[in-house]
């Protein structure tokens, strides 16, 4: 099986930077996704990492360390609209069906 751990809730201030961590324990790691999900809406794709290192995409960046079973999502210049749940999902064991963590609820306040 897989164990994916992320903080339940985080708060941050508009304009600031926030880092959302995800740790996982799995066999046959095949990649890691980050999704954003606003309340009552569908998850939307943010990033995919399969190699170690940092992937930057505008205000959002995602980092992966396979040896440590660790990833983070970095959000810069926070905006109120960034208030959402951020889901970490892992591919493993030769499957292309991701297993999702419980999600981190990010609250951005003025």
Partner 1 sequence: GAGVSQTPSNKVTEKGKYVELRCDPISGHTALYWYRQSLGQGPEFLIYFQGTGAADDSGLPNDRFFAVRPEGSVSTLKIQRTERGDSAVYLCASSRSGSQGTDTQYFGPGTRLTVL
Chain centroid offset of residue 54 CA? 13
| Contact code string over 2-41 relative to partner 1, x by CB under 8 A | --x---x---------------------xx---------x
Does 91 bind partner 1 (CB under 8 A)? Our answer is yes
**Residues in Cβ contact with 7 at an 8 Å cutoff, skipping those fewer than 6 apart:** 20, 21, 104
Residue from 18, 71, 103, 108 touching partner 1 (CB under 8 A): that is 103
- Could you tell me the smallest distance in angstroms from the CB atom of residue 74 to partner 1? 20
Length in residues, the chain: 110
Question: What would the x/- binding string for partner 1 be over residues 43 to 62, using CB under 8 A?
Answer: xxx--x-x------------
What is the distance between the alpha carbons of residues 107 and 47, in angstroms, rounded to a whole number? 20
The owner of tokens 């591919």 is 91
């Amino acid at each position: 099986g897989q164990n994916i751990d992320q903080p339940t809730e985080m708060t941050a201030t508009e304009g600031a930077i926030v880092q959302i961590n995800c740790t996982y324990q799995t066999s046959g790691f095949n990649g890691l996704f980050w999704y954003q999900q606003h309340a009552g809406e569908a998850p939307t794709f943010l990033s995919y990492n399969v190699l170690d290192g940092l992937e930057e995409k505008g205000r959002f960046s995602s980092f992966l360390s396979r040896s440590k079973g660790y990833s983070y999502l970095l959000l810069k210049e926070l905006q109120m609209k960034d208030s959402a749940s951020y889901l970490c999902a892992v591919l493993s064991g030769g499957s292309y069906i991701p297993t999702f963590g419980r999600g981190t609820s990010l609250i951005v306040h003025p």
